[in-house]
Structure formats: structure tokens, C-alpha cells
Amino acid sequence: MSTDPRAAFDLDSAWRLDDRVSIRPERFGALLYHFGTRRLSFLKNPTLLAVVRGLTEHPTARSACAEAGVDSGEMPRYQAALASLAESRMIRPRSV
């Protein structure tokens, strides 16, 4: 069993922001607050914020990343960030 968080996050699936999450844009990216779990997450750059905001508009997380300007060399880093957001229930799978 892999301990790599990216292994559990499928970039080729559809994802969305949880309905109970609020986004507060900041200079460095954004703060996400989950009203159900009371957890706070930091998005450390504007590109990750663009990816998260674009999840609902794209058929896959990979396409949301591409639209936000994430190139293939950066994809593992963004996959790990999205895996962390999924683990903390900030984002969730959606049906297409």
C-alpha cells in the first residue's frame, strides 16, 4: 500500500468544492474554511486557487489544472495539494 497522497487522488475524476466551504481570497492565494468540520486550509498560491475554483467547471481535476496553467512537470505537486484538500473534505468527488 502506498503512502504517497497522490496515489489516492484521481486527477482524471470530477471534483468540486464542498458546499460547506467558504473561500476567502488573500494575497498569497486563499483561506478555505469548512463550516462542517471547522477546519481551515491555506491555498498557498493563486494558481491553486484557480484550480479549486475551476473544479466544478471542468470534467476532471487534470483539466482544471491545465486551464489554470499547471504544466505536466508541476502536476505532481498540485495532485498532492488536491489530495490533501480531499482528505480534509474541502473538495469532494462529483458525478459528471
CATH number of the domain encompassing residue 62: 3.90.930
- Residue 36 lies inside a defined structural domain of this protein: yes
- Residue 94 lies inside a defined structural domain of this protein: no
Find out whether 43 and 57 touch, Cβ atoms under 8 Å. no
Q: Whose CA is closest to 65, among 1, 9, 21?
A: 9
Which pLDDT score is estimated for 2? Answer: 47
Which pLDDT score is estimated for 72? Answer: 94
Domain count for the chain, please give it: 1
Give the CA distances from residue 19 to residues 13, 14, 35, 45, 56, in Å, rounded to whole numbers and listed in that order: 18, 15, 9, 22, 11
pTM here is: 0.89
Domain span at residue 57?
5-86
- Residue 92 lies inside a defined structural domain of this protein: no
pLDDT tens figures, 7-50: 579 999 999 999 999 999 999 899 999 999 999 999 999 999 99
Which pLDDT score is estimated for 95? Answer: 81
